[in-house]
Amino acid sequence: MRAPLITITIIVLVLAGLYFLFEHRLMPAGPERQTAGSAAEPTGSQDEAADAARDIQKEAETYISKLTQPDPDPVAVEKADHFMSKDQMLSLLPEGATEEITREKLATDPGLSPNTPITVVKKAEQIEITTPEKVIAEAEGDLDRKVKILEGGDVRESTARELLEQYRKDPDAEITIVKDVEYFVITTPKELLEDPAVKAGETLTIIRKPYRLEAATIADLLREQQALSPDSVFYVRTVRPSDKQGIWGIVHDGLIENFARGMAIRRGEEINTYQVEIPRDADERLSDQSSSFLGKMIHEKTLESHVYNFKLNRMGRNPDRVMPGQEIVIINFHPDELIGIYKHFAQQHG
């Protein structure tokens, strides 16, 4: 019985030796060898990095969505500095088209006959049902912007900041706000003077011609220029006297200033103000003289730009010169491009 036992023992020892030999051949020695515990660490780090990337992607998408949400009020063409959708309405009424005149001066104005069609600009309060999230988003980073809230028949004044604190846990709650809006009535001096509602000495705001809706959407302005993607996002800026660097400078300043303003973004159950800082020199060449991320983007957008002269009602493509006070620059972005800008600089500062 002893011989079989010895044989079995020898076989066990041989198998153990072979296992030891192969284990040391196949697995690296020294510091390169990983234990089960150390192997799990990179996996955890990779998961955390993937989660962080997904978070910033979602945050960026929400940011751009808020940034480009259409404003119900037309944007004045002489004061444009906005990212907007193709459906955003632009008011093309020249800033100097309105004037203030008293009832008495209207009666004696040599340039107006009794039956000359004119337009009276009136103001009224408009009630709108909205949400705190939307009000804060429309504040574009200015959390001290005033807002009138209608509650129980009474109007109280609040700020976007106060709404942020009050409705932090319930940003989708319905609230009723009161907005001051303008509307236009076509009439004549004779009809105004005969109107008992117009009091002696009252100052009127008028336009010396029958007002027609001098407004258009971005899609209207670009209809003959290019086929528009339904997802297109447009940066629209009125040319200013300070725009010495032309369209390049307009795109550069627009991106920096608009992203720096911040935007109210919902994340989970809370809404907070997010913003990203783009350095002023981010468009300059890199140390190896290659184009920077922002510089390459601005170069492409400058070549694709449109310029609309609202004084002459004429559209053009990337001219060498832009005219302050009478032209707007229109730059077409895809949402992924804006999200890419946000992510690029948010990760740099993260």
pLDDT for residue 232:
81
Question: The tokens 């980073």 sit on which residue?
Answer: 141
In whole angstroms, give the CA distance from residue 67 to residue 56.
Answer: 16
Rg of the Cα atoms in the chain:
32
Q: Indicate the SS3 state at residue 226.
A: coil
pLDDT per position as a tens digit, 75-102: 888 888 888 888 888 887 766 678 899 9
In whole angstroms, give the CA distance from residue 46 to residue 122.
Answer: 61
Distance from chain centroid for Cα 23: 60
Compute φ and ψ for 259, nearest 5 degrees: -70, -30
User: Is 339 within 8 Å of 61 (Cβ atoms)?
Assistant: yes
pLDDT for residue 140:
61
Under DSSP, the state recorded for 45 is H
In whole angstroms, give the CA distance from residue 327 to residue 315.
Answer: 9
Q: Which amino acid is at 12?
A: V
pTM beyond cutoff 0.75: no
For 76, half-sphere exposure in the C-beta direction (CA atoms, 13 angstrom radius) is 8
pLDDT for residue 3:
46
Using 50 as the pLDDT threshold, list the residues of the chain that sit under it.
1-41, 213, 267
pLDDT for residue 5:
41
pLDDT for residue 21:
40
